[in-house]
Amino acid sequence: MYTILSDLVKARTVPLTTKGEPRLSDDLTKMMEQDFEETSASSIEKIDQQGLTSIAELARTIRDKESNISDLEQRLKAEKKDLLKLTDEEMPAMLAEIGMSSFALDDGSTVEVKQTYGASILVEKRPAAYDWLRDHGYDDIIKNTVACQFGRGEDDQASAFAEFAHQQGFVPEQKTVVHPQTLRAFVKERCEAGEEFPMELFGAWIGQRAVIKRGKK
């Protein structure tokens, strides 16, 4: 009995430091360090796994949102196409069939068919179309952009080119264009004024469109 108690006391006895504080044995220190490392590694692994899971969930959310937006854009495109067919074809045709150009709804809204104008100059016809505009005094609707490329450290040459492009020996790049809205307004003015002009050259057309004006609530 005495021997057993003595062994237990020895097993539980902890050496003291010079200050009287408990001193851990080398084996116990190693065990604590190993336990700390294993706990830390486990915590880091757990945190990393949670982070990866969150990233994966966020990535799936982004992917789903992009897919939804793409679907909505396609649907919007189809809806606009259907609307254009209703306003530019079906409604004008139905009103014309009964000899009417406008119609009132019971909520105070009105439907009226108006003329619309459009134009789109083909690339291969642009030089001829621009020449026609210049020859007939409509060159003010042509927008001109003149540009020249300069390399690094050529600021002085670029400034001089603004006033003396040809004298400096540079060949400018000139771009001419008629803005679509400007061209549409030009076609509308010519048609409403009864002036003749080469509509085919300008890709011009005249159509009808039903416009709904909502009534006041």
Q: Enter the tokens of residue 117.
A: 């104008």
What confidence tens digit (pLDDT) does each residue in 69-111 have? 999 999 999 999 999 999 999 999 999 899 988 888 888 889 9
In a domain, 110, yes or no: yes
Amino acid at 6: S
In a domain, 97, yes or no: yes
Give 56's pLDDT tier (boundaries 50, 70, 90): confident
Judgement on whether residues 128 and 75 belong to the same structural domain of the protein: no
Judgement on whether residues 105 and 187 belong to the same structural domain of the protein: yes
**Residue 109 backbone phi and psi in degrees, to 5:** -75, 155
Cα separation values, 183 from 119, 179, 203, 208, 209, Å: 7, 6, 10, 18, 19
Judgement on whether residues 47 and 132 belong to the same structural domain of the protein: no
Q: Which residue has the higher pLDDT, 172 or 74?
A: 74
In a domain, 71, yes or no: yes
Judgement on whether residues 53 and 135 belong to the same structural domain of the protein: no
Question: In the predicted model, is pLDDT for residue 143 greater than 70?
Answer: yes
Judgement on whether residues 143 and 177 belong to the same structural domain of the protein: yes
Judgement on whether residues 106 and 190 belong to the same structural domain of the protein: yes
In a domain, 9, yes or no: no
Judgement on whether residues 147 and 71 belong to the same structural domain of the protein: no
Out of 61-65, 115-119, 144-148, least confident range: 144-148
List the domain range (segments joined by +) for residue 44: 26-84
Calculate what percentage of the chain has a pLDDT beyond 90.
43
Judgement on whether residues 94 and 80 belong to the same structural domain of the protein: no
Judgement on whether residues 80 and 93 belong to the same structural domain of the protein: no
In a domain, 20, yes or no: no
Cα separation values, 57 from 28, 51, 53, 60, 70, Å: 43, 10, 6, 5, 20
Distance CA 83, CA 96 (A): 19
| Residue ending a domain, choose from 46, 62, 84 | 84
Judgement on whether residues 111 and 160 belong to the same structural domain of the protein: yes
In a domain, 184, yes or no: yes
pTM of this structure = 0.54
In a domain, 16, yes or no: no
Cα separation values, 70 from 57, 65, 81, 196, Å: 20, 9, 17, 45
Domain count, the chain: 2
